[in-house]
């Protein structure tokens, strides 16, 4: 572990004591703090005003019961969360995650990261996150609808176009957002498009929002490669996961000439040397709600459940599955296989040990706060369209996404230069994200 600046040690200790057992949240805070020493030295006014103490304590946390009735007529009870972390730059903004392992620590780590990610985009967005331990896997559409309606029956009191604007995340896609928006509209008697992003195209959604996180990650990789006069043409790429982010990262990488040779799900992975068949993947995952084992069978390939997808050698790795999926062992396997660029499509998929392995091996590493910001960038573009009752073309929206990802890339590197850590995307992203929030907090006084 990198040592913390003395002014940050007590703040970090307070975070771990105040939030016992929330290891992912501790990890996310530590990762940011480890990069902030040069900021503390250059700007003692931030520590004097207890900016970090304040940022680590969410402005508001809501935990609620979500009762619903399953298809067999049994009453089920889940837990719902919304952690409203920071609204200094705009309304709280961040997705909802439905997954059985969601607990307070998951939502807090995601919400904390979202503050800096959203700030780094340069857009007017605060940070928050929410979700539930509900598992949509294997549930009928009717069960998902009843769960979403119950979830929104409580959540609607806390959100709004100018207050808190949720979106999707793992387990929350177009189907869930439709049920959530429908219930919000019914409860409030308002067609308030700006209250949620990731909406369907016929009811206030934006072009490119579905593709945005995956496309954005690949645009970021393009900028990383361009620094050494390379592009994606002919690069061998591996993505992990096979959800929305992974599929669209693979699609864009292949459109730009790469060969994406592997992807995975929680059951194992598939190596497809010819390059992934994106249409088949979309059909299996989005239409049939099937598994990678179905993909393997239909393509006549092996479905591998031993080891991990990171055993497949590649030039570019884009982890798009979930937090802490890529540890030290996997990082060493990637380095041995010749990887030169790693960009996080998911939130915190690489453990601190893995990041150290990449750094020691001279692998260019982009953290999720920067590389996966395309989703929230396009959410902000969706909010702009909703506010002006306009809708933009695919090409225009995609170009806005691409240029914003390039700006984020350049902002990371120029900030890293300013603070004497050249080439360090992690420090650049954290410092640029943090200083924008901290300056606004100083301007607002103690709130």
Q: Of the listed pieces 89-97, 174-182, 188-196, 416-424, which binds ligand GLU according to CB under 6 A? A: 89-97
Q: Contact between 214 and ligand GLU (CB under 6 A)? A: no
Each residue 164-203 as x (binds ligand GLU by CB under 6 A) or -, in order, gives: ---x-x---------------------------x------
Nearest to 127 by CA among 28, 203, 12: 28
DSSP E strand stretches across 286-357: 303-304, 316-319, 341-343
- Residues 100-129: x/- map of binding to ligand GLU (CB under 6 A)? ------------------------------
Instruction: Identify the three-state secondary structure at position 261.
Output: strand
Q: CA 278 to CA 275: how far, in whole Å? A: 9
Phi and psi at 43, nearest 5°, equal -130, 75
- Binder of ligand GLU out of 90, 94, 268, 345 (CB under 6 A): 94
Told to judge if 129 belongs to the known catalytic residues of this protein, a careful annotator would answer yes
Comparing CB distances to ligand GLU, the nearer of 94 and 367 is: 94
The pair of three-digit structure tokens given for residue 190, joined into one six-digit string: 């308002």
For ligand GLU, the closer CB: 245 or 357: 245
Give whichever of 43 and 93 is closer to ligand GLU, judged by the CB atom.
93
Choosing from 93, 108, 117, 129, the catalytic residue is 129
In whole angstroms, the minimum distance from the beta carbon of 94 to ligand GLU comes to 5
Residues 362-381 touching ligand GLU, rule: CB under 6 A, are 375-376, 379
CB-closest chain residue to ligand GLU: 95
Does residue 347 belong to the site contacting ligand GLU (CB under 6 A)? yes
DSSP states along 385-446: HHHTT----HHHHHHHHHHHHHHHHHHHHHHHHHTT-TT-HHHHHHHHHHHHHHHHHHHH--
Q: With contact defined as beta carbons under 8 Å apart, do 84 and 128 qualify?
A: yes
Q: How many residues bind ligand GLU (CB under 6 A)?
A: 10
What residue has token string 């096979």? 242
Q: Which is nearer to ligand GLU, 242 or 340 (CB)?
A: 242
Contacts of 368 (CB under 8 A, 6+ apart): 113, 117, 344, 345, 346, 347, 348, 349
Contact 280, 291 (CB under 8 A): no
CB of 217 to ligand GLU, least distance (A): 11
CB 279 within 8 A of CB 295: no
Nearer to ligand GLU, 42 or 158 (CB): 158
Residue 428 engages ligand GLU in binding (rule: CB under 6 A): no
Residue pair 358/340 in contact by the 8 Å Cβ criterion:
no
Piece in contact with ligand GLU (CB under 6 A), picked from 44-52, 90-98, 292-300, 416-424 = 90-98
Q: Tally Cβ neighbours within 10 Å of residue 393.
A: 10
Site pattern 278..317 for ligand GLU (x: CB under 6 A): ----------------------------------------
Q: Are 44 and 442 in contact (CB under 8 A)?
A: no
From the list 201, 158, 181, 116, the residue with the least C-alpha distance to 373 is: 116
Residues catalogued as catalytic:
129
By the criterion CB under 6 A, which residues form the site for ligand GLU?
93-95, 167, 169, 197, 347, 375-376, 379
């Amino acid at each position: 572990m990198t040592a913390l600046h003395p002014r940050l040690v007590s703040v970090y200790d307070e975070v771990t004591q105040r939030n016992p057992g929330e290891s992912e949240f501790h990890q996310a805070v530590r990762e940011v703090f480890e990069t902030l020493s040069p900021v503390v030295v250059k700007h003692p006014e931030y520590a004097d005003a207890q900016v970090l103490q304040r940022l680590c304590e969410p402005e508001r946390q809501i935990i609620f019961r979500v009762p619903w009735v399953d298809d067999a007529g049994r009453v089920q009870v889940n837990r719902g969360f919304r952690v409203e972390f920071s609204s200094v730059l705009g309304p709280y903004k961040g997705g909802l995650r439905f997954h059985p392992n969601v607990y307070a620590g998951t939502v807090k780590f995601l919400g904390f990261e979202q503050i800096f990610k959203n700030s780094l985009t340069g857009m007017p967005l605060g940070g928050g996150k929410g979700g539930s331990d509900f598992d949509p896997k294997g549930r009928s559409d009717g069960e998902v609808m009843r769960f979403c309606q119950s979830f929104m029956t409580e959540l609607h009191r806390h959100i709004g176009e100018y207050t808190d604007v949720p979106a999707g995340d793992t387990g929350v896609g177009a189907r869930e957002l439709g049920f959530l928006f429908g219930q919000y509209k019914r409860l409030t008697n308002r067609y308030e498009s700006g209250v949620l992003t990731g909406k369907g195209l016929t009811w206030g959604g934006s072009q490119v929002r579905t593709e945005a996180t995956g496309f954005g990650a690949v645009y970021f990789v393009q900028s990383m490669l361009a620094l050494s006069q390379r592009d994606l043409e002919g690069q061998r790429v591996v993505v992990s996961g096979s959800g929305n982010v992974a599929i669209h990262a693979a699609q864009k990488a292949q459109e730009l000439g790469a060969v994406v040779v592997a992807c995975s799900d929680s059951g194992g992975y598939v190596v497809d040397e010819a390059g992934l068949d994106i249409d088949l993947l979309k059909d299996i995952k989005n239409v049939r709600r099937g598994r990678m084992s179905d993909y393997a069978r239909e393509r006549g390939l092996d479905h591998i459940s031993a080891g991990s997808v990171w055993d497949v050698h590649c030039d570019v790795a884009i982890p798009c599955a979930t937090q802490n999926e890529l540890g030290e062992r996997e990082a060493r396997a990637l380095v041995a296989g010749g990887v030169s660029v790693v960009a996080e499509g998911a939130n915190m998929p690489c453990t601190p040990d893995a990041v150290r392995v990449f750094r020691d091996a001279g692998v260019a590493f982009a953290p999720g706060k920067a590389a996966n910001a395309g989703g929230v960038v396009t959410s902000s573009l969706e909010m702009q369209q909703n506010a002006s009752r306009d809708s933009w073309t695919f090409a225009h929206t995609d170009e806005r996404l691409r240029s914003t990802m390039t700006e984020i890339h350049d902002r990371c590197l120029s900030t890293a230069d300013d603070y004497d850590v050249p080439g360090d995307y992690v420090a650049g992203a954290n410092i640029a994200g943090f200083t924008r929030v901290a300056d606004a907090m100083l301007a607002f006084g103690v709130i």
